């Protein structure tokens, strides 16, 4: 079995005495050069990280102040430098500027690991310009570069928006570069990483457990399927099918993690909040969580809540796009880079990525609406079928040669008294029509128990009778022999009647 040395990859020994060099190269000199090179690269990397951190922090503060000014002041008021200064000083601390130690205390554990060990001298912090002054300098710079804006507030706003868009583009690119530098920094162990590791009685495993659960949930779509097949093939004959089904259900179940549910509630137009949330909870960017979330969109649509449906569709597709962009891997650095890259394109409305994503959201939303409409119709049809299967009583003749007749009893008879006193008005009216179909319509509206009682009353008053016809002369002779009465005239009439019926048949 080959030996795996990958666990030593993060160790970088700048004074490795076992290093092999060319015979013509002095070993001691080579080791000194290697030490110097490693330390210089490490120092240069930290300088770049510090520079990007300052830039990201400053530009974010600058954008916030620009947005506030353009929101509070009219175009003509923006031309007044005094008015601009008064407004911005009233809204923000005029002395506020970049302060690493304050940033570190405010962010706490939220500050990424590679940014917690930076060193800023007092001179570096004191030399930072206040954010309000940076805004004033920006106004001055725009007026110098574009003299026409000094008398046109609308043009000034347009140039400020152009400048702000450039800042957003720089922020997205620098964020990706910062991720790359921090990943490079984390790949190698230096003396700065040495710390006491086992003097605490409490170990916080919350984040690791959440990532482990997400990874386990993501694996249920691939690995468990093959395991399920093996269970089915090798199942003993005595095992019930319900047990096998339980195994399938266990692996096919889609569960929405609490973090995913919280992400789904972020309004879809607040892209910055969605990005920040995913940067802290990148473990939910999996195909499994996307599928779990999209299933809840069907539930919302079936309930008639189209707003929630579109909200969930938008957020679930973000998980899908980020996952695909990151290769659906579990490497956090790639996920973070994918998140930054995707949102930088999504926030740019002119980007083809944003257009394709929005089209995909609309297409998926329309598909869910169509499917839910079909599902609702199928459920309604099934409900109607269930209702139509309610048993009812209908009067029909079992013999094709006979038919049921409906007769109203003669007035004054005992049957008519039963007919008029015990039957409902609707049934009486139906019987008076002499039409069996009308009687059956009244029966169709009754429960079986009530219809049976009405049927007994109908039998009591002899409302329903039988009528038939003789198909040939032989049947007539048999009937005459049974009754043993009648005269020749009646016989002739009966025969003629039988002949007529036979013709009709």
pLDDT per position as a tens digit, 301-327: 988 889 999 999 999 999 988 888 776
Cβ pair 245, 296 in contact under 8 A: no
Domain region containing 371: 211-233+250-388
Residue 244: pLDDT over 80: no
3-state SS, one letter per residue, for 269-331: CCHHHHHHHHHHCHHHCCHHHHHHHHHHHHHHHHCCCHHHHHHHHHHHHHHHHHHHHCCCCCC
3-state SS, one letter per residue, for 87-132: HHHHHCCCCCCCCHHHHHHHHHHHCCHHHCCCCCCHHHHHCCCCHH
Cβ pair 175, 347 in contact under 8 A: no
Residue that finishes a domain, picked among 342, 359, 388: 388
Residue 450: pLDDT over 70: yes
Q: What percent of the chain has pLDDT over 90?
A: 6
Number of H helices, E strands in the chain: 22, 2
pLDDT (average), residues 107-134: 82
Per-residue DSSP letter, 407: -
Number of domains in the chain: 3
pLDDT per position as a tens digit, 365-404: 999 998 888 888 888 877 666 555 667 778 776 666 667 7
240 within some domain: no
Beta-bridge partners for 406: 464
pLDDT per position as a tens digit, 38-96: 778 888 888 888 888 888 888 888 888 888 888 888 888 888 888 888 888 888 888 88
Same domain, 369 and 464: no
Cβ pair 190, 12 in contact under 8 A: yes
For tokens 């008294």, the residue is 417
Residue 428: pLDDT over 80: yes
144 within some domain: yes
E-strand ranges in 370-499 read 402-406, 464-468
Residue 223: pLDDT over 80: no
Same domain, 119 and 263: no
- CA 15 to chain CA centroid, nearest Å: 54
Distances (CA, A) of 19 to 6, 225, 427, 497: 19, 49, 110, 126
Q: Which of 37-41, 147-151, 272-276, 285-289 has the highest mean pLDDT?
A: 272-276
Q: Measured at the alpha carbon of residue 390, what is the angle toward residues 386 and 393, in degrees to the nearest 5? A: 155
13 within some domain: no
Residue that finishes a domain, picked among 388, 411, 428: 388
Same domain, 384 and 406: no
């Amino acid at each position: 079995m080959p030996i795996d040395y990958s666990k030593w990859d993060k160790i970088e020994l700048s004074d490795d005495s076992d290093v092999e060099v060319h015979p013509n190269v002095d070993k001691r000199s080579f080791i000194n050069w290697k030490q110097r090179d490693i330390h210089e690269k490490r120092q240069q990397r930290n300088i770049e990280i510090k520079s990007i951190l300052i830039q990201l922090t400053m530009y974010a503060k600058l954008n916030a102040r620009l947005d506030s000014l353009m929101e509070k002041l009219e175009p003509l008021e923006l031309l007044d430098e005094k008015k601009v200064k008064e407004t911005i000083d009233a809204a923000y601390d005029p002395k506020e500027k970049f302060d690493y130690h304050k940033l570190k205390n405010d962010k706490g554990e939220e500050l990424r690991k590679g940014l917690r060990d930076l060193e800023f001298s007092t001179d570096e912090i004191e030399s930072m310009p206040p954010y309000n002054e940076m805004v004033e300098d920006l106004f001055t710079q725009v007026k110098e570069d574009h003299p026409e804006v000094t008398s046109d507030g609308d043009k000034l706003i347009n140039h400020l928006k152009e400048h702000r868009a450039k800042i957003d583009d720089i922020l997205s690119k620098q964020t990706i570069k910062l991720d790359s530098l921090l990943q490079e920094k984390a790949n190698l162990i230096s003396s700065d990483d040495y710390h006491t590791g086992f003097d605490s009685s409490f170990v916080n495993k919350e984040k690791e457990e959440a990532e482990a659960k997400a990874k386990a949930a993501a694996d249920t779509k691939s690995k468990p399927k093959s395991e399920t097949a093996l269970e089915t093939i090798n199942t003993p004959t005595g095992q019930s099918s319900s047990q096998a089904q339980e195994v399938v259900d266990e692996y096919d179940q889609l569960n929405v993690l609490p973090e995913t549910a919280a992400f789904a509630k972020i309004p879809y137009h607040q892209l910055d909040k969605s990005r920040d949330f995913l940067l802290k909870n990148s473990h939910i960017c999996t195909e499994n969580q996307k599928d779990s979330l999209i299933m809840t969109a069907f539930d919302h649509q079936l309930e008639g809540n189209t707003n929630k449906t579109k909200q969930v569709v938008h957020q679930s597709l973000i998980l899908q796009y980020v996952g695909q962009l990151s290769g659906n891997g579990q490497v956090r650095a790639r996920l973070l880079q994918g998140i930054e890259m995707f949102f930088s394109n999504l926030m740019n409305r002119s980007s083809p990525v944003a257009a394709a994503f929005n089209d995909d959201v609309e297409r998926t939303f329309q598909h869910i609406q169509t499917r839910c409409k079909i599902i609702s119709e199928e459920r309604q049809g099934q409900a109607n079928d269930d209702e139509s299967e309610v048993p009812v009583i209908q009067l029909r003749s079992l013999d094709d040669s006979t038919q049921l007749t409906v007769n109203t009893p003669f007035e004054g008879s005992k049957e008519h008294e039963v007919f008029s006193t015990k039957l409902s008005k609707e049934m009486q009216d139906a019987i008076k029509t002499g039409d069996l179909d009308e009687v059956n319509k009244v029966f169709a509206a009754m429960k079986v128990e009530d219809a049976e009682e009405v049927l007994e009353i109908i039998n009591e008053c002899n409302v329903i009778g039988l009528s038939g016809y003789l198909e040939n002369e032989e049947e007539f002779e048999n009937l005459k022999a049974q009754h043993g009465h009648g005269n020749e005239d009646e016989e002739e009439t009966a025969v003629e009647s039988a002949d007529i019926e036979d013709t009709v048949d």
